[in-house]
Structure 1
Amino acid sequence: MHEELLSEVRGEVLWLTINRPERRNAINPAVLDGLHAGIERANDDDGIRAVVITGAGEQAFCAGADLQSGKSFAFDYAQPGQRLADLLRRARRSNVPLVARVNGACMAGGMGLMAMCDMAVASDRAVFGLPEVKVGVFPAQVLSVLQHLVPRRVLNELCLCGEPLSAQEALAAGLVNHVSADLDGKLDWLLGRLLDKSPAAIRRGLYTLKHIDAMPFEQSMAFTESQIGLFAMTEDAREGQLAFREKRKPNWTGK
């Protein structure tokens, strides 16, 4: 049996590919466990600067739960956490940037995988949707990662009507950063803009961004005024400022 979640390091980037094209890269336990393990690996390895999450083939990024299995909503209610929810929690704690490469249909739980990423690049053929109401359920868990990405009216329509958005509509709604007919060219462009920056600043920056998301203003200010002092103490901060003064490229250590 072929691996259902492929993991490959390409330079400083870990690629995680859902490898179930015959099921439109639908989610199953092996996929969730593989994505969780991949994000853990990236955060434990200082040599990995970014994670790309995508689907095999050209038809689908991820079509959501594998409804053909008949077990998609058969949870173990004795467990306080479910696999998808635990993956979204782990992604939220990641200090390594996650980038979604949306190569095709991004539906239901696939929207959760896309939205848990820090950035997303989509093919101009991609479509996005939350069709759960068509099969009598609701996109409950993915709301936690979607609700701050798009305007409430857009989210309400996606959830309550279950109809899809085109790639351009998703871009206009703020679901993705970029849409291109040259998906990999645009992805490489985005990664290039990320990978030449300070690893320490990005790692601590993501930590800061994610922690202040739900804080009220005064709490956020108290947290960030302490964080900027820690940023300034890193080797990368000293090197970056020295390189600026010396008009040269910085030599990052990631420390």
Structure 2
Amino acid sequence: MSVVRRSHERGITTLALDAPERRNALSAPLVGELADALKRCGEDDDVRAVVLTHTGTTFSAGADLRDPPHPDALVALLRQIVELPRPVVARVTGHVRAGGLGLLGACDIAAASHDATFAFTEVRIGVAPAVISLPLLPRLDPRAAARYYLTGERFDAAEAARIGLVTAAGEDADAVLAPVLDGLRRSSPQGLAETKRLLTAKVLDTFDRDAAGLTALSARLFSSAQAREGMTAFLERRDPSWVR
């Protein structure tokens, strides 16, 4: 059963994460299927840009704790979005947590409706936002990143726009995106590809420098005793042992 829904209209391919019963969590199958769909978009001359969105009320709840992707696979997916020779635009009308925020960081443009909420919840289960920091830290306001990384607090779409997590927020994400998609349709494929290359150069430098170390950190943390307690507590809907 497919977990990524594809549609195409006037040069724009939309890829919708379609596992709402799992809150579009980043499972190994979802990450693999999304990577395959993006690869096809990058090879298709009819695709001017890609919109990454979701079904259900959650864009992505982060890593699927029951069937997580290998950290290497998540790094590869994030880098693929950054390197894709087509602009990738996130359309968010629901909640985004933990690893799902890495997808937003990798996208070139992101629009969110006022219904969207965001949180870096890794610290609350005993791990850190390691791999997703590769595209996020070059884009986020440093003081805001420190606050939300360390506390796991939830914040709204207006705050997400203020700190650089999303490009713009509004009552209707489609209304926010309408002029963006019109502009992309009016732009040449060569112009878009080379301009994106300029814009993502510093993000890719971060991947080249830090990917191996952050992947190792992620693997170490997820295999730790505190992470096992944190994930068990999450699945059992209780506070972990360290909560005071």
**Would you say same fold, with TM above 0.5?**
yes
| Match runs of 1:64-103 below 5 Å | 64-67=62-65, 69=66, 71-72=67-68, 75=70, 82-103=72-93
**Structure-1 separation of matches of 2:39 and 2:100:** 20
SS at structure 1 position matched to 2:7: strand
Q: Could you report, residue by residue, the CA deviation over 1:170-189 in whole angstroms, capped at 9, with x for unpaired residues?
A: 11112111112122222222
* Greater CA drift, 114-123 or 170-179: 170-179
Q: Is structure 2 residue 178 aligned with structure 1 residue 174?
A: no
What residue identity is the alignment partner of 2:44? D
Could you say if the C-alpha distance between residues 96 and 214 of structure 1 is closer, same or farther in structure 2, counting changes exceeding 3 Å? closer
Q: Which moved more, 1:95-104 or 1:198-207?
A: 198-207
Q: Structure 2 matches for 1:27-66, cutoff 5 A?
A: 27-57=26-56, 59-66=57-64
What TM-score do the two structures reach when normalised by structure 2? 0.79
- One-letter amino acid of the counterpart of residue 66, structure 1: D
Of 133, 137, 141, which residue of structure 1 is paired with 2:123? 133
Q: Percent identity?
A: 34
* Secondary structure of 1:139's aligned partner: coil
Residues 189-214 of structure 1, C-alpha deviation per residue, up to 9 Å, x if partnerless?
Answer: 21012211222111111123223557
Could you report, residue by residue, the CA deviation over 1:228-253 in whole angstroms, capped at 9, with x for unpaired residues?
Answer: xxxxxxxxxxxxxxxxxxxxxxxxxx
Superposed CA deviations along residues 127-147 of structure 1, whole A, max 9, x for unmatched, are 111101111111100011110
- Counterpart CA distance in 2 for 1:131 and 1:209 is 28
The 3-state SS of whatever aligns with 2:38 is helix
Work out the CA distance in 1 between the residues paired with 2:156 and 2:26. 22
- Within the candidate set 78, 84, 97, 1:107 is matched to 97
Opposite residue 192 of structure 2, the aligned amino acid is I
* 1:212–1:82 CA distance, 2 compared to 1 (3 A): closer
Q: Distance in 1 between matches of 2:68 and 2:193?
A: 34
- Bigger radius of gyration: 1
Check the 8 A contact 2:53/2:91 in 1, yes or no. yes
Q: How far apart, in 2, do the equivalents of 1:211 and 1:137 lie? A: 28
Q: Are the counterparts in 2 of residues 5 and 30 from structure 1 also a CA contact under 8 Å?
A: no
Counterpart CA distance in 2 for 1:109 and 1:37 is 19
- 1:10 is displaced (CA, Å) by 2.1
**Aligned positions of 1:177-216 closer than 5 A:** 177-211=167-201
The one-letter amino acid of 1:39's match is L
Counterpart check, 1:15 vs 2:14: yes
**Structure 1 residue runs of 4 or more that deviate by more than 3 Å after TM superposition:** 212-215
SS of 2:112 mapped into structure 1: strand
Which structure 1 residue ranges, 5 or more long, are not aligned?
Answer: 76-80, 216-255
Give 1:30 deviation, angstroms: 1.7
Structure 2 residue identity aligned to 1:13 = I
The CA RMSD measured in Å over matched residues stands at 1.7
TM-score (norm 1): 0.76
Query: Aligned partners of 1:212, 1:134: CA distance in 2, in Å?
Result: 30
Q: In 1, distance between residues paired with 2:89 and 2:140?
A: 18
| Whole-angstrom distance in 2 between the partners of 1:213 and 1:22 | 33
